Amino acid sequence: MPVIETRHLTKTYTSHKKAPGVWGAVKGLFSREIVEVHAVQDISLSIEKGELVGFLGPNGAGKTTTLKMLTGILHPTSGEAQVLGYRPFDRNASMLRRISLVMGNKMQLWWDLPAWDSFIVLKELYEVEDEKFRRRVEFLVEQLQLTDKIHTQVRKLSLGERMKCELVAALLHSPEVIFLDEPTLGLDVVSQKRIREFLLTLQKEDDSTLILTSHYMQDVQELCNRVIVIDQGRLIFEGTLKALARQFGDRRMLRLTFDRAVEVADLADLGEVLENSDAGAVLGIPREKTAQVTAAALKALPVIDVGIEEVSVEEIVRTLFSQSSKTNAS
């Protein structure tokens, strides 16, 4: 049985459209146009125990709204959702003790208190036994290298240290399902790397199920064995990163170095010119024509070095969003 399952999950908001100008404001006092915003549209998905799934989409795609419905914060307009066999929006206490939500732009720690004081309060809220609490905190603090930080006032910690303490707070009760909404948002590359390593260790240690949203593709590539991509509230891809690359990564990048400047017109016949300078150029070329285009470039241009690169996952996802936007607009 899947740990998380949704069927035709939909969330629609209503708002009032305001006409421009003073007259529009006056008119709005008596008659306002109601506009429907479809934040999530007909999402059906299934996630098994122990999976680490990336949930991708541009800003406003509906990622956070979906997570809020799966954690019971929002009630769906229509459709069904189940998490650990419960309907999230019933806010069943047994379910809430088995899940956790970490949001990179929201804090649950008390700003003016040491993180340790917040941990003690959360221990009581989740009814964690003393010995289990001691072992759990010891494990989390050691993994995140926070031993000398948890007794410091939260407001005096760096952003990276605060985020690590937020993770400890969210994981004290050993949740089976963990929703991570931009957990590395705004962090430096060292802190991002440390948190990714920690999440991998945690998932193996607890055999927990993790659902991750992130704008940093490095997070997704290092952590996730499957991705779900949504855009404008609709599911547009579900599968492995390899399947995503096979389906949408139908080109390669040809990186050329020249011994003298080359005109853009001379490059355009070979492929899409992505970069061009006096020293070299980068072309986007069809995968199946790699050998043909490379041979033509070596013959026609003053090439002194050549490199062939796969298109990055980030570029593939960007292309996927672009295609989705064009489809929805038409």
pLDDT confidence of residue 150: 95
Quote the pLDDT of residue 302. 94
Instruction: Calculate the dihedral angle through the C-alpha atoms of 313, 315, 317, 319, rounding to the nearest 10 degrees.
Output: -150
Q: What is the mean pLDDT of the chain?
A: 89
Amino acid at 93: A
CA distance 289 to 286: 5
Sequence-ordered strand ranges (E) for the chain? 4-17, 33-47, 52-56, 78-83, 99-103, 177-181, 209-213, 226-231, 234-239, 251-258, 272-276, 280-286, 303-310
For the beta carbon of residue 119, count every other beta carbon within 10 angstroms.
Answer: 21
Domain with CATH 3.40.50.300 in the chain: 4-245
94-112 mean pLDDT: 91
pLDDT exceeds 90 at position 140: yes
CATH 3.30.70.980 fits 250-310, yes or no: yes
Residue with the larger pLDDT of the pair 29 and 238? 238
pLDDT average, residue stretch 96-120: 92
Q: Is the dihedral of CA 5, 8, 13, 17 positive or negative?
A: positive
> Which pLDDT belongs to residue 214?
87
**Mean pLDDT of all residues in 225-254:** 86
pLDDT digits (tens, 9 = 90+) for 297-315: 999 999 999 999 877 777 7
pLDDT one-digit tens code per residue, 241-280: 888 877 777 788 899 999 998 888 889 989 988 888 989 9
Tens-digit pLDDT profile for residues 172-223: 999 999 999 999 888 888 889 999 999 999 999 999 999 999 888 889 889 9
- 4-245: CATH topology: Rossmann fold (3.40.50)
Instruction: Find out whether 88 and 263 touch, Cβ atoms under 8 Å.
Output: no
CATH 3.30.70.980 placement within the chain = 250-310
pLDDT for residue 28: 67
Q: 């298109």: which residue's tokens?
A: 311
State in Å, rounded, how far the first CA of the chain is from the last one: 38
Confidence of residue 325 (pLDDT cuts 50, 70, 90): low
Q: What average pLDDT does range 148-165 have in this prediction?
A: 93
Average pLDDT over residues 277-292: 91
Residue 110 pLDDT level (bands cut at 50, 70, 90): very high
What per-residue confidence (pLDDT) applies to 14? 84
The closest of 273, 267, 219 to 241, measured between CA atoms, is 219
- Predicted local confidence at residue 114, as pLDDT: 96
DSSP 88: G
pLDDT of 71 > 80? The answer is yes
Name the E strands within 249-327.
251-258, 272-276, 280-286, 303-310
Of how many residues is the chain composed?
A: 330
What are 7-60's pLDDT values in tens digits? 999 999 987 777 777 676 666 666 777 788 899 999 999 999 999 999 988 888
